[in-house]
Amino acid sequence: MIEQPTGIEANYSLIVKDLPPNVQLVAVSKTYNAETVARIYNVGQRVFGENKVQELVEKYTALPKDIHWHLIGHLQTNKVKYIAEFIDTIQSVDSRKILKEIDKQAGKHNRKIKVLLQVKIAEEDTKYGLESSEAKEIFTEYLNDIYPNVEVQGLMGMATFTDNEKQVQNEFSSLKNLFDELAAQKPLTVLSMGMSNDYKLAIDCGATSVRIGSAIFGSRATEH
């Protein structure tokens, strides 16, 4: 029998209790099994985030169908078809090419898929994401109805992994500025930034959605 982590419901309640009412929580369940995810579902959470398509499909299949699944990791074009039917939001749109494919697959299923444009705000060059200028161009195309089967709800970003709070704050603020600039053209509702170690700062900088994994579920055995 696989041992279940203790205290995750308590971790969850403490986090939820302190979130401002306008901030959405995406519980990041990557690497945790369906049984563990179900415990957080059972205490009321309905929005979960995964970063790998295969793992996402497995959990979608195993878990209740009223869960809103968010993809938060880099997506390859040949894999969009596996999630197009059920995915609620794809937060990790990091190229024009992937957005085109999401639009095409959403059309095949006669639905609109909600997306966020992932913008590179961190210093590290290992992280995926659009440059601000590309994000603006793609948003303009969207406003010109080039992607009729997607709904661009806002932006997503990941700050540099550092103890330097000032730097993280600057990175979040730069994303908030871009968000405001785009939202002036057409209202946007979702600014997804902040993870377990920096979500409070992200909220102070204007996040409307936070992606929290390890602060709920405990540290991951294998990082990926």
Ligand X SMILES: *Cc1c(COP(=O)(O)O)cnc(C)c1O
Q: Is 51 in the site for ligand X (CB under 6 A)?
A: yes
Compute the least distance from the CB of residue 204 to ligand X, in Å: 17
Q: Is 113 in the site for ligand X (CB under 6 A)?
A: no
**Nearer to ligand X by C-beta: 154 or 213?**
213
Q: Is 213 in the site for ligand X (CB under 6 A)?
A: yes
For every residue of the chain, DSSP letters joined together read -PPPPSSHHHHHHHHHHHS-TT-EEEEE-TTS-HHHHHHHHHTT--EEEES-HHHHHHHHHHS-TT-EEEE-S---GGGHHHHTTT-SEEEEE-SHHHHHHHHHHHHHTT-PEEEEEEB--SS-TTS--B-HHHHHHHHHHHHTTS-TTEEEEEEEE---SSS-HHHHHHHHHHHHHHHHHHHTTS---EEEE--TTTHHHHHHTT-SEEEESHHHH---SS--
**Nearer to ligand X by C-beta: 90 or 188?**
90
Report the candidate in 49, 45, 39 with the shortest Cα–Cα distance to residue 4.
Answer: 39
Q: Is 195 in the site for ligand X (CB under 6 A)?
A: yes
Q: Is 214 in the site for ligand X (CB under 6 A)?
A: yes
Q: Which of residues 165-194 bind ligand X (CB under 6 A)?
A: none
Q: Which of residues 14-43 bind ligand X (CB under 6 A)?
A: 28, 30
Compute the least distance from the CB of residue 50 to ligand X, in Å: 9
34's tokens: 């369906």
**Nearer to ligand X by C-beta: 122 or 146?**
122
**Nearer to ligand X by C-beta: 29 or 105?**
29
Q: Is 53 in the site for ligand X (CB under 6 A)?
A: no
Compute the least distance from the CB of residue 224 to ligand X, in Å: 9
Q: Is 211 in the site for ligand X (CB under 6 A)?
A: yes
Segment interacting with ligand X (CB under 6 A) among 96-104, 144-152, 179-187, 210-218: 210-218
Residue 193 CA to residue 97 CA, distance in Å, equals: 23
Radius of gyration of the chain measured on its C-alpha atoms: 17
Segment interacting with ligand X (CB under 6 A) among 53-61, 132-140, 178-186, 207-215: 207-215
Binding-site ranges for ligand X (CB under 6 A): 28, 30, 51, 72-73, 158, 195-197, 211-215
